[in-house]
């Protein structure tokens, strides 16, 4: 098996440039059967490796592989009867188009989401990068949003921005923080966030409520969310999104060329670059693959914790808004809500067993064992599960799509992720506020380019999810 991994690594490097990736379903009777496959950090498992139980008692791992990789894996496992590898045969309709021009006319027109429109209304295309900025400018000029420039420019020289609304000019009154567009190919994330904020502001102005499919909300609920103070960073990875929208290459990372100047070696996975157990070779068991040291990998972790300007900008928002309590990072495509921790199973009894303890270095990252489990106070575990469950229930209620909530570690660990970083700050940085971190993955597994129908359904699902996430967070507590 180890020889297979080495050969597959070489194979991946030679074929990755084509980006001819195809959805593949790998089935096995236990998750342990996937360990070697996932250990090959040159394979593309979407946002992260997800092995879901099936109705017949098996487990299914989804991946995006080239034809050569599919052929190689099929041959490798043809003698292993319990593992099957199948390329998806579903023919998908054309993906939702990217907008051309600027529908918001440089900020003289404000965006309006689906929650304030008649049932059956649709949005015709995904925002291009310029429109994301123009849409926020429209909310600034016409709806009372405040936009601010973040301190670092991207590798390609883009200036980044975030915005806030609802609780006035005192930045210590803001408690809800949402970000999107970390992974370039996960289309629609910035749209979902901007349209939600625009709906809140339109409903607040008109005195109306909001409707997302079968979910409805009152004007009083709208006002309570705005009063909690919303900070939003709608496009974390502008370089990557610009490239993905022009190339249709399923590009995930940013466009930093310091570690590699061509093909898949370009870029860092921003969501493996945060300062939470970033140096996974030190902190995790050797068999775990929470990120990658290889620039050619989709999960390349960068040259240092928070090495990337996008990561630094993301972190700077916590300093500007010191009372943020709840954080949501918007991704696709898996259909779930994730909550901390992502490095190992949770436990609430042994306080000494925690991510800051050097005693457990080299022991983290294996689920289901007793060598290490990440400490979380029971009151925090209860709070984050309650909010996650309410979010998932709302998303399901919109139109019946399947969503689940689960601990971020799932079946496989992660390091350097935005949600765990948010939660870890309370213990690693003296005097900062405790932040509960979540990842929302809208849509269907490995479906990063939604059809137009799916794009509009994603807006409805996520926006209802944001509503119940915020409302339940408010009920749990903002201070």
Compute CA 220 distance to the chain's CA centroid, rounded to the nearest angstrom: 29
Summarize pLDDT for 19-49 with one digit per residue, the tens.
678 889 999 999 888 888 888 888 898 888 8
b/e 136-146 (16+ beta carbons within 10 angstroms → b)? bbbbbbbbebe
Q: Is 16 exposed, middle or buried (0-12, 13-18, 19+ CB in 10 A)?
A: buried
Domains within the chain, CATH numbers bracketed: 2-87 (3.30.70), 102-479 (3.40.630.10)
131 belongs to the catalytic site: no
For residues 155 and 192, give the distance between their C-alpha atoms in angstroms, rounded to a whole number.
26
Q: For residues 203 and 278, give the distance between their C-alpha atoms in angstroms, rounded to a whole number.
A: 42
Question: Sign of dihedral through CA atoms 317, 233, 133, 107?
Answer: negative
Rounded Cα distance, 360 and 362, in Å = 6
Q: What are phi and psi of 336, to 5 degrees?
A: -155, 165
Phi-psi region of 69 (alpha: psi -120 to 50; beta: other; left: phi over 0): alpha
Which pLDDT belongs to residue 3? 38
Residues 420-456 have pLDDT tens digits of 999 999 999 999 999 999 999 999 877 899 999 999 9
Average pLDDT over residues 134-146: 98
- The mean per-residue pLDDT over the stretch 455-474 comes to 98
Alpha helices in 257-308 (DSSP H): 280-283
Distance in angstroms (rounded) separating the CA atoms of residues 15 and 10: 9
What angle is formed at CA 251 by the lines to CA 245 and CA 252, rounded to 5 degrees?
120
Answer yes or no: is pLDDT of 143 > 60: yes
Q: Inform me whether the pLDDT recorded for 94 exceeds 50.
A: yes
Given 76, 298, 308, 441, the catalytic residue: 441
For residue 475, report the phi and psi dihedrals to the nearest 5 degrees. -70, -35
What value does the mean pLDDT take over residues 258-270? 95
- Region 371-378 average pLDDT: 98
Assign 388 to helix, strand or coil: helix
Residue 135: the pLDDT is: 98
Q: Which of 159, 162, 98, 104 is nearest to 128 (CA)?
A: 98
Distance CA 28, CA 452 (A): 33
- pTM beyond 0.85, yes or no: yes
- Residue 31's pLDDT is 86
* CA atoms of 440 and 442, how far apart (whole Å): 6
Work out the mean pLDDT of the chain and round it to a whole number.
93
Q: Tell me the percentage of the chain whose pLDDT exceeds 70.
A: 95
pLDDT category at 78 given cuts 50, 70, 90 is confident
Judged on CB neighbours under 10 Å (0-12, 13-18, 19+), 207 is exposed
Look at residue 14 in the predicted model and tell me its pLDDT.
33
pLDDT grade for 4, boundaries at 50, 70 and 90: very low
């Amino acid at each position: 098996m180890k020889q297979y991994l080495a050969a597959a690594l070489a194979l991946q490097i030679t074929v990755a440039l084509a980006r001819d990736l195809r959805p593949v379903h790998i089935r096995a009777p236990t998750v342990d059967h996937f360990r070697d496959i996932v250990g090959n950090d040159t394979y593309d498992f979407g946002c992260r490796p997800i092995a879901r139980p099936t109705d017949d008692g098996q487990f299914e791992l989804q991946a995006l592989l080239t034809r050569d990789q599919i052929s190689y894996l099929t041959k490798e496992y043809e003698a292993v009867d319990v593992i099957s590898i199948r390329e998806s045969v579903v023919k998908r309709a054309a993906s939702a188009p990217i907008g051309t021009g600027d529908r918001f006319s440089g900020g003289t027109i404000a965006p309006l989401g689906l929650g304030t429109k008649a049932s059956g209304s649709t949005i015709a295309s995904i925002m291009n990068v310029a429109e994301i900025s123009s849409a926020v400018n429209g909310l600034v000029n016409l709806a009372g949003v405040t936009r601010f420039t973040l301190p670092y420019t991207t590798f390609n020289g883009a200036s980044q921005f975030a915005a806030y609304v609802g609780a006035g000019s005192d930045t210590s009154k803001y408690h809800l923080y949402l970000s999107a567009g970390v992974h370039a190919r996960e289309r629609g994330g910035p749209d979902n966030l901007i349209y939600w904020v625009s709906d809140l502001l339109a409903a607040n102005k008109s005195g109306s409520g909001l409707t997302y499919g079968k979910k409805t909300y009152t004007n009083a609920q709208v006002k309570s969310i705005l009063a909690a103070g919303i900070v939003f960073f709608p496009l974390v990875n502008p370089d990557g999104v610009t490239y993905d929208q022009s190339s249709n290459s399923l590009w995930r990372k940013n466009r930093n060329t310091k570690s590699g100047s061509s093909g898949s070696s370009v870029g860092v996975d921003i969501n493996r670059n945060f300062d939470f157990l970033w140096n996974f070779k030190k902190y995790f068991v050797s068999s775990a693959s929470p990120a990658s040291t290889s620039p050619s990998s989709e999960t390349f972790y960068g040259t240092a914790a928070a090495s990337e300007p996008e990561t630094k900008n993301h972190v700077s928002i916590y300093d500007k808004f010191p009372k943020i309590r709840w954080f949501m990072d918007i991704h696709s495509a898996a259909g779930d809500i994730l909550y901390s921790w992502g490095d190992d199973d949770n436990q609430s009894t042994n306080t000494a067993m925690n991510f800051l303890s050097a005693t457990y270095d080299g022991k983290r990252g294996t689920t289901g064992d007793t060598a290490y489990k990440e400490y979380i106070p029971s009151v925090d575990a209860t709070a984050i599960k309650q909010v996650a469950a309410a979010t998932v229930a709302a998303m399901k209620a919109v139109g019946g799509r399947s969503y689940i909530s689960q601990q971020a570690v799932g079946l496989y660990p992660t390091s350097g992720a935005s949600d765990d970083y948010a939660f870890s700050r309370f213990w690693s940085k003296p005097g900062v506020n405790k932040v509960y971190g979540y990842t929302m993955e809208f849509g269907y597994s490995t479906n990063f380019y939604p059809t137009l129908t799916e794009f509009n359904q994603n807006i409805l699902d996520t926006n209802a999810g944001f509503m119940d996430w915020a409302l339940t967070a408010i009920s749990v507590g903002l201070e």
